[in-house]
Amino acid sequence: MSGYLALENELGQVRTGVDLSDFAIPIDNLLEPGMAAGALTALDKYLLEKTGTKLGFLYPDLVDDCVSNIHEQYEQQKSKTDMVEAEYISPTVPEAPESRLQQRK
């Protein structure tokens, strides 16, 4: 969640500076051929300038980082579990009463 919140905060700060009014005013302009693609191109150019990457990479990179972190946490937990299992001494199976009696005799 912290990575997502950091990305949202970063995008929130640059969101106010982008001007797509040429493409979206009036809103029906987006339905015209090439307008939506032009708006996305302008947005990508602006984000590349402000964040160093395009919007199409920000969220997939965040997901990749999250999956990598989860994998690292899993490996750490697994190694801790393996260490505990290696130290665990299995209980001995109790002997049958007859065999204990024979040993005492």
Tell me, what DSSP letter sits at residue 90? P
* Cβ count near 23 (within 10 Å): 20
Return the exposure string of 31-70: e unless at least 16 CB atoms fall within 10 Å of the residue's CB, then b.
Answer: eeeebeebbeeeeeebbeeebeeeeeebeeeeeeeeeeee
* Cβ count near 10 (within 10 Å): 14
State the residue for tokens 């937990």: 77
Q: What is the mean pLDDT of residues 42-58?
A: 87
Which of these ranges, 26-30, 33-37, 82-86, has the smallest mean pLDDT? 82-86
Q: For 62-104, what is each residue's pLDDT tens digit? A: 999 999 999 999 999 988 887 776 666 555 566 666 776 676 6
With beta carbons less than 8 A apart as the criterion, state whether 23 and 35 touch: yes
